[in-house]
Amino acid sequence: MKVETPRDLALRVLNDLSRKPGFSASALDNLFSARPHLEERDRAFISQLVQGSIRWRARLDWTIRQTSDVSLKKISPPVLNLLRLALYQILFLDRVPESAAVNEAVKQSKKGQPPYVVSFVNAVLRNVCRNKTQISFPDRGKTPVDCLSACYSYPEWLVRKWIREWGIDFAEALLEAQNRIPALTVRSNPLKIHRDDLIRRLEDESGIGGKATPYSPQGVHLTDFRGRVDQSKTFQGGLFQVQDEAAQLTSILLSPGAGETVLDLCAGYGGKTTHLAELMGDQGKVIALDRNRTRLVSLATNAARLGIRSAVAVVADASTNLSSLFGVRFDRIVVDAPCSGLGVISKHPDGKWNKKEDDIPRLAQLQKAILISGCSLLRTGGTLLYVTCTLSREENEEVVEACLAGNEEMVLVDLRDRAPLWARDLIDDRGFLRTFPHLHGMDGFFGALLRKK
């Protein structure tokens, strides 16, 4: 039986994603679940190869165009993925010798390709090795969209959009920041441990370095982390939850109180649900609503690990009229609507390629429906936080403005008057939460707080 190398397995994932587009994180999870005996080092290398090849896909393709006489459209997807995989190693991985990347790619091509393809792969890769310092890119001054798209590896429509909305310098800094591999950030569980004590426990028990986040009072950046976080004793004991700092801020801004009844619409795997319960001292009720039953099963398991009893899962579609489902009105509601995810590309590089420009208006309509549904469930005097992990105005300010225009009961709360002092520089001049990866070192999030009169 042929033994598949880590490079073979990485190529398998890329080819599967070419046939059936999805998210590489899920594809990698499926691969590792089917091969539980893979060494941790091999898992890490496979993940790096897959994520890196996806993250830098446009730049890798630009390089192929510069060094090959064959049009990209004429190269079959398996061969194109093979070239991307090898080029990523050659251009971005200092610890992999160029000769090893070329030789392994040639070996891979021999396993299923005719001799002329093997020669083509070898020629392209050796040409890149000889001339990689001479590869030219479009002129930034003359064709800025083409330049930034090729250099930073983003679809042209997104580069054009960000230049139009933010200006070229801001857009370039944002593109560069979202290509960085983010540090793992976790949220300490105050029901079980103080953040400072968690940092000490991580170091003492697992040798994991931790640093307090600059904004969230519960956040910890894990420095030089290797391996699987869910294997640590501190995680299994429910002392922390993996969650980016920007996502942590949203629950804090909603500021739920002990004994309140809170609704988390579109709860997903429950990062915000469990955080809301922690902030309430696990006293009261947090209803986690999502239409995906599998996610809610994971949410319940996670809540039990964290020692949370106040969370209750409900399977339902948040975009429908939910008034008949609940016999109460809620003190606080968080609406974390499905969005284009343009603020979390550093964690999900697939999002660059899986989202299209015409997805944005379609998502905005869905977000408006969910927000209107949420408003109908809020009690008089209650507050609702609308939040997304995207940067497009159509999914953020325009959704909020449409909701306010069609509902006289709802008013906008200026977060500058509500946010803790340490979060004030994250609030814009209209009172919205705005975080940017290149400015704040966290995911790109938007948040708007509404109150029912």
Report d(CA 83, CA 40) in Å as an integer.
Answer: 25
Q: Measured between alpha carbons, how far is 272 from 239 in angstroms, rounded to an integer?
A: 16
- Is residue 339 part of the annotated active site? The answer reads no
Contacts for 257 with CB less than 8 Å, ≥ 6 apart: 280, 284, 331
Residue with tokens 């209209």: 430
Q: What is the DSSP string of 254-273?
A: H---TT-EEEEET-TT-HHH
Q: Which residue has 């997304």 as its token pair?
A: 388
Partnered with residue 145 across adjacent β-strands are none
**Closest by alpha carbon to 92, among 126, 40, 120, 51?**
51
d(C-alpha 410, C-alpha 452), whole Å: 5
User: What are the E-state strand segments in 278-377?
Assistant: 285-290, 311-315, 330-336
Q: Please list, in sequence order, all residues whose beta carbon lies within 8 angstroms of the beta carbon of residue 360, skipping any fewer than 6 positions away.
A: 340, 392, 394, 395
Q: Cα separation of 163 and 138, whole Å? A: 16
Rounded to whole angstroms, the Cα distance separating 330 from 384 reads 9
Please list the residues that pair with 188 across neighbouring strands.
240
The residue annotated as part of the active site, out of 147, 151, 389, 403, is: 389
- Please give the positions annotated as active site: 389
